[in-house]
Structure 1
Amino acid sequence: MNRIENDEKIEADDWMPDEYRQQLIRLISMHGISEIMGAFPEKEWVPKAPTLHRKLAIMAKVQDEMGHGQLLLRVVEDLIKPLGKTRDDLFNDLFAKRLKFHNVFHMPSPAWADAAIIAWLVDGAAILTQTMMLKTSYGPYGRALKRICQEESFHAKHGESLCLALAAGTKAQKQMLKEALTRWWEPLLAFFGPKSAKETGRSSVDINIKYKLRTKTNEELRQEFLTKYVPKIKKMGLAIPDATLHFEEDTQQWVYKQPDWKTFKQIIKGNGPKTDERLSLRRQSYMDSQWVRDALGVYTESPALLPG
């Protein structure tokens, strides 16, 4: 704790208490798996993108997200190896719904405008969370986040470009964008998670803040998101699908309709609209590529077999 308070970075081969290690595993594995599962709602639109330019852009974005997931899972591997676990264990936990991923990636994306909203607002929400953790006390995670945050910024610009094109398009395109925003608004607010125990009046220690894995609460991030994006959404000519939403001058806080937290909990437990379908695709992909891991394993165990 003295090292953390002095802003020293904890490294993978340093001693760390079990609570710290377990919290890192939980946080980073969820982030890594969310990057991989987050590619699925947009992957569905790669063959259906309206132009070649848009197809190339969304393909590049999907590739980036998968790369982020692989990078983060490599960070997790260093944490779980001393516990006798491997990457296979992480994916088996995912397939058994023991490993959670963000609520938004369980949701359907039935229209091209959904891909636009995901890239602009979902990635925008993720950027707020990830930039907050750039100064995390765990060095390998912070260094991985530097690259991820830079690429996510490009993704958000890509999404904003898509939304602007649809907002300035035909009546049908504007309607499609409006419907997509309505579908995604509640999942977006729930993306940050419920208020902390302290913010709801219960006494509790936030382990992530205690260990300086993060510096802001869920509600602080949600308030930042509303402050940043509500004016932009309105400037785009879109109406926010929440009649209660307003900024309260006295408290300097946004007031909004609370998401359905019971539904949120069910979704992240693996009971979302598209959860089973996407997990099935991920499982099949993992099984189909087993031969690659087997082949690499031979060379890992016997380096002498490598060419040269």
Structure 2
Amino acid sequence: MAGLMYAEEAVEAEKLQNFIERIEAGDKIEADDWMPEEYRIALIRLISMHGISEIMGALPEKEWVPKAPSLRRKLGIMAKVQDEMGHGQLLLRVAEDLLKPYGKNRDDLMQDLFKGDLKFHNVFHMKTVTWADAGLIGWLVDGAAIITQTNMLGASYGPYARALQRICAEEVFHAQHGEAIIMALAEGTEEQKQMIQDALNRWWDALLMFFGPASSDTTGQSKQDVTIKYKIRTKTNEQFRQEFFNKYVPRILSLGLTIPDPTLKYNEEEERWEYRQPDWNEFKKIIKNEGPRSQARLNLRRVSYENNAWVREALSQA
């Protein structure tokens, strides 16, 4: 018996070594390939969270479709909402393939969302108070997403990398759409300029939290460590946050806006931005669905899912 166990362990060790060599060589792992459990679980967590965040992320902007200031703006933001929902469906399909060995499917992911087991990005728990909030989501939230997602275009898991090619291309248009809204307001009245400043004040900490904490917690290896280990991404949360500062701080200041952090400055010697840390306890509270709009948006998603059960049933019998 001991010999059999040793042989099985040796086979698993060889499989793992071959797997590591493949991803080190730049090969793409496919859904039917052997993969270590740690890798599969990391992918399921990342891709299902990304997919659900695309769907839940459409809801803050959906609230502004009927309130957009012109027909052209209504059509623009409606198209963006449609794109985001499509991204979510595409990513959940990728996650479903990874769930097959566990006998789970998309419905299980939705139930995990409703139970609070599947999280979505902190920014999509927040209120959209004015039209400037809708613009800021497109400009800065989608801008932050582009920074993280383009880093994973070379992800070792092939289906995710291929899905990101389409998603990132469309997110660039989304960011340009948001920037166009902000620029129009910035060139408007003093009241409209103040509307942008107020939105920035509300969203700044949430934008910093978007990238996650800088380092591992006391429980050991963090999700970012695992994804870097398996070449799903190549940079840390803090490196992403620094990229965001490099790209967007000059643009924000060029509009005459004030960043709501008097400590923010660029350290020339260390070549990095110094900034005030957001309240990470608040971050934990928000992603536990205790944010300003968490329950309202979850309830909307739940009702929609229940009301459209007949569509899924009809498709399953087609």
TM-score bracket for the superposition, by shorter chain length: over 0.9
Runs of 4+ in 1 over 2 A off after TM superposition: 200-205
1:276 maps to 2:292: no
Q: Which residue is equivalent to 2:213?
A: 194
Distance 1:266 1:201, change over 3 A: closer
Give the distance between the partners of 2:221 and 2:301, measured in 1 at CA: 37
Alpha-carbon deviation of 1:81?
1.3
Distance 1:17 1:289, change over 3 A: same
Q: Which residue is equivalent to 2:147?
A: 128
Q: Which residue is equivalent to 2:121?
A: 102
Q: Which residue is equivalent to 2:22?
A: 3
Q: Which residue is equivalent to 1:62?
A: 81
AA in 1 matched with 2:248: Y
Q: Does the residue aligned with 2:317 lie in a helix, a strand or coil?
A: helix
Where do 5+ consecutive residues of structure 2 fail to align? 1-19
Q: Does the residue aligned with 2:155 lie in a helix, a strand or coil?
A: coil
Give the distance between the partners of 2:240 and 2:295, measured in 1 at CA: 29
AA in 1 matched with 2:88: G
Give the distance between the partners of 1:170 and 1:189, measured in 2 at CA: 29
1:138 maps to 2:174: no
Residue 234 of structure 1, aligned match among 253, 258, 261: 253
Residue 248 of structure 1, aligned match among 249, 252, 267: 267
1:149 maps to 2:145: no
Q: Which residue is equivalent to 1:220?
A: 239
Q: Does the residue aligned with 1:254 lie in a helix, a strand or coil?
A: strand
Q: Does the residue aligned with 1:39 lie in a helix, a strand or coil?
A: helix
Distance 1:208 1:122, change over 3 A: same
Q: Which residue is equivalent to 1:83?
A: 102
Alpha-carbon deviation of 1:269?
1.4
With the length of structure 2 as denominator, give the TM-score of the two structures. 0.92
Q: CA RMSD in A?
A: 1.3
Q: Which residue is equivalent to 1:304?
A: none
Q: Does the residue aligned with 1:15 lie in a helix, a strand or coil?
A: coil
Q: Does the residue aligned with 1:247 lie in a helix, a strand or coil?
A: strand
Give the distance between the partners of 1:94 and 1:202, measured in 2 at CA: 24
1:15 maps to 2:34: yes
Alpha-carbon deviation of 1:196?
1.9
Where do 5+ consecutive residues of structure 1 fail to align? 300-308
Give the distance between the partners of 1:175 and 1:160, measured in 2 at CA: 16
Give the distance between the partners of 2:40 and 2:114, measured in 1 at CA: 23
AA in 1 matched with 2:137: I
Q: Which residue is equivalent to 1:209?
A: 228
The size of the alignment, in residue pairs, is 297
Identity of aligned residues (%): 66
Q: Deviations over 1:185-232 (max 9, x none)?
A: 0000110000123xx999857111000011000000000000000000
Q: Which residue is equivalent to 1:37?
A: 56
Give the distance between the partners of 1:28 and 1:202, measured in 2 at CA: 22
Q: Deviations over 1:107-129 (max 9, x none)?
A: 00011000010000000000000
Give the distance between the partners of 2:81 and 2:54, measured in 1 at CA: 9
Q: Does the residue aligned with 2:262 lie in a helix, a strand or coil?
A: coil
Residue 24 of structure 1, aligned match among 9, 28, 43: 43
Q: Does the residue aligned with 1:213 lie in a helix, a strand or coil?
A: coil
Q: Does the residue aligned with 2:213 lie in a helix, a strand or coil?
A: coil
With the length of structure 1 as denominator, give the TM-score of the two structures. 0.95
